[in-house]
A and B are shown apart, each in its own frame.
Chain A
Amino acid sequence: MKQILHIATRELNTFFDSLTAYVLIVIFLGFSGFFTWVYGADVFFVGQANLNTFFTVAYWSLFIFIPALTMKSIAGELTEGTLELLLTKPVSDWQLILGKFLSTLLLIVIALAPTVVYYFTLWSIGPVDHSAILLGYIGLLLMSMVYISIGLLTSCLFSNPIVASLTGLSIGIFFHIIFDVLAANFVGFTGNLFSYISLSTHFESITRGVVDTKDIIYFLSIVFFCLYTSKQILSNRNLHV
């Protein structure tokens, strides 16, 4: 556990040292603030004291940002050779993967943290459904976990960060939109299947304020599958070093 934290802290520091973290936080807060409070169907138009507008904006912007954050996590270590440095220390493959996963998740938490201000602002204007907002945040975190794990997997697969990032994004698009679109075009079993594997179905159900273990299992199983596969790929490194 300690090793995971050490790796995560180091990685997080790198995000901040390299300005990546600041750029992400500024853009994320800028975008979400603008669309939530100023432009288009903002919170004042909804007619209800909820943050659904914000969650939709965050849902999209995190989806785009995360592959850029994870693209170098393993690929970078491999090309720089530091993977060898780390894995010859008392660090297991699992600890490395989980450390990388945790660092990006922490960065997302840090980026989301200031938006709690939105919640307090809203609370001062009207009666807020507290649990719905809490669930909204949980939904965002679960969704981030899925995309981080997909990003890590592609970063294990491709040593070129750009390829890793674009592949991560393309896999993400399936979960984000395409499965949903397919679900609308099919009926019966196929339709249900696509609807089930579409991430947006589960995200919407959580943000609507319904907690179903099925949704949680859905998110966690993708995360587990991706992390496990990444770990296997990392363990098979003997093939190409």
Chain B
Amino acid sequence: MDIVVEHLTKRYGPQKAVDNVSFRVKAGEVLGFLGPNGAGKTTTMKAISCYIRPEDGDIKVGGYSIHEHPDIIKKNIGYLPENNPLYDDMNIIDFLEFIAKIHDVPKYLIPERILDMIRTCGLEGEKHKLISELSKGYQQRVGLAQALIHDPEILILDEPTTGLDPNQIVEIRELIKRIGNEKTVILSSHILAEVEATCDRILIINNGRIVVDGTAEELRKQAAGNEILKLGVQGGDVEEVFECLISIDTIETVDIIDMDKQLFEIQSIADTSSVKSIFDACVQNNYYISELTPTETKLEDIFRELTLH
């Protein structure tokens, strides 16, 4: 099932939480939804899962509009809300059974589905416990299990890894990846590494508008710009080396990072590479290169650059 969001606008009072957002998610795609807090991620997800109704615009899931057929859309969506609300006073099995019944899973299939979910989400040891007795990580797994119990076509996860320890984060990511092979997944996060590790495509949203839409690769390419090198040169005085480097034509700026280790950060003029000229210059002056690393633009930097303005 495809998800098509068209000109979605949602206001809370005078403030626009989401402002004319349009995008499309193809079936089988894992989409990462990124943005600073309050950017409109959760609002968009709530609108897709038919919890709130936008003032303007439409969302079509598998061709059905949220305005006309919310019932059909809800059947095909597994949604894990932010903060993972659960009925704390129920035990895991009862809770999953209740959700399965609400989803109209055929009665003979329910025990099988529950066992399947308990296994998939690693809840075997805890299955008879009350939800209130579980640790945050296990509760998050129960949240995932309830979202998956009816085997939905689409999975919407609002910050699925908040509050988990590093091991659990890795596990949940693996799980999402596995699920993402068969299903359409939209996942929101403000952790970039997570989105990069799990998603096919990244959407960055800021102040209710989409600022970037593309794969992690494309994002990097777009923001890469000038070549940046981290360079260590030995065999000469720092100032001499600095003078020598700055005199190379293709180099735009030279920064000294570390005086003792003689490390520099070098930025070349657009669309040029200074590696060869640096090497030649060092040979001429009898310096030797102790380190030469191209600096990749981090997704974090791209994110900051795009969302701070």
Interface residues of A (CB under 8 A from B): 2-3, 6-7, 10, 13-14, 17-18, 80-92, 237-238, 241
| Minimum Cβ distance to chain A for residue B146 (Å) | 8
Q: Which residue of B lies closest to A91 (CB)?
A: B102
Mask of B47-75 contacts with A, CB within 8 angstroms, 1/0: 00111110000000000000000010011
Complex formed: what's the CA distance from A91 to B104 in Å?
11
Complex formed: what's the CA distance from A18 to B104 in Å?
27
B108 at interface by CB-CB < 8 Å = no
| Minimum Cβ distance to chain A for residue B141 (Å) | 15
Complex formed: what's the CA distance from A87 to B53 in Å?
12
Q: Are B81 and A10 in contact (CB under 8 A)?
A: no
Q: Are A10 and B77 in contact (CB under 8 A)?
A: no
Contact of A82 among B75, B79, B85, B102 (CB under 8 A): B85
B280 at interface by CB-CB < 8 Å = no
> Which residues of B lie under 8 Å from residue A86 when comparing CB positions?
102
Q: Are B85 and A90 in contact (CB under 8 A)?
A: no
| Minimum Cβ distance to chain B for residue A134 (Å) | 34
> Which residues of A lie under 8 Å from residue B103 when comparing CB positions?
89-90
Q: Other than A14-B89, A90-B104, give 6 A-B pairs with Cβ distance below 8 A.
A: A2-B104, A10-B90, A88-B77, A89-B103, A90-B71, A237-B52
A-B contact pairs, 30 of them (CB 8 A): A2-B101, A6-B102, A7-B102, A10-B98, A13-B90, A14-B87, A14-B89, A17-B90, A80-B88, A81-B83, A81-B85, A82-B87, A84-B46, A85-B85, A85-B86, A87-B51, A88-B50, A88-B51, A88-B74, A88-B79, A89-B74, A89-B99, A89-B103, A90-B74, A90-B75, A90-B103, A91-B102, A238-B52, A238-B53, A241-B52
Complex formed: what's the CA distance from A240 to B90 in Å?
28
Q: Are B89 and A241 in contact (CB under 8 A)?
A: no
> Which residues of A lie under 8 Å from residue B146 when comparing CB positions?
85
Q: Which residue of A lies closest to B77 (CB)?
A: A88
Complex formed: what's the CA distance from A237 to B51 in Å?
9
- A/B pair count, beta carbons within 8 Å: 65
Complex formed: what's the CA distance from A92 to B73 in Å?
12
Interface residues of B (CB under 8 A from A): 10, 46, 49-53, 71, 74-75, 77, 79, 81, 83, 85-90, 94, 98-99, 101-104, 146
For A3, A83, A89, A237, the residue with the greatest tally of chain B CB atoms inside 10 Å of its CB is: A89
Q: Are B89 and A18 in contact (CB under 8 A)?
A: yes
> Which residues of B lie under 8 Å from residue A89 when comparing CB positions?
74, 99, 102-103
Complex formed: what's the CA distance from A13 to B74 in Å?
25
Complex formed: what's the CA distance from A82 to B84 in Å?
9
| Minimum Cβ distance to chain B for residue A35 (Å) | 33
Complex formed: what's the CA distance from A86 to B102 in Å?
9
> Which residues of A lie under 8 Å from residue B104 when comparing CB positions?
2, 90
| Minimum Cβ distance to chain A for residue B17 (Å) | 10
| Minimum Cβ distance to chain B for residue A99 (Å) | 10
Contact of A81 among B50, B71, B74, B81 (CB under 8 A): B81
> Which residues of A lie under 8 Å from residue B86 when comparing CB positions?
82, 85
Q: Are A6 and B89 in contact (CB under 8 A)?
A: no
> Which 9 pairs between the two chains have the least Cβ-Cβ distance?
A81-B85, A238-B52, A88-B49, A90-B74, A82-B85, A88-B79, A89-B102, A6-B101, A84-B81
> Which residues of B lie under 8 Å from residue A80 when comparing CB positions?
85, 88
> Which residues of A lie under 8 Å from residue B53 when comparing CB positions?
238
Complex formed: what's the CA distance from A142 to B83 in Å?
40
| Minimum Cβ distance to chain B for residue A145 (Å) | 25
Q: Which residue of A lies closest to B94 (CB)?
A: A13
> Which residues of A lie under 8 Å from residue B74 when comparing CB positions?
88-91
Q: Which residue of B lies closest to A239 (CB)?
A: B12
> Which residues of B lie under 8 Å from residue A7 when comparing CB positions?
102
Contact of A241 among B46, B88, B102 (CB under 8 A): B46
Q: Which residue of B lies closest to A81 (CB)?
A: B85
Complex formed: what's the CA distance from A90 to B150 in Å?
11
> Which residues of B lie under 8 Å from residue A3 when comparing CB positions?
102
Q: Which residue of A lies closest to B88 (CB)?
A: A80
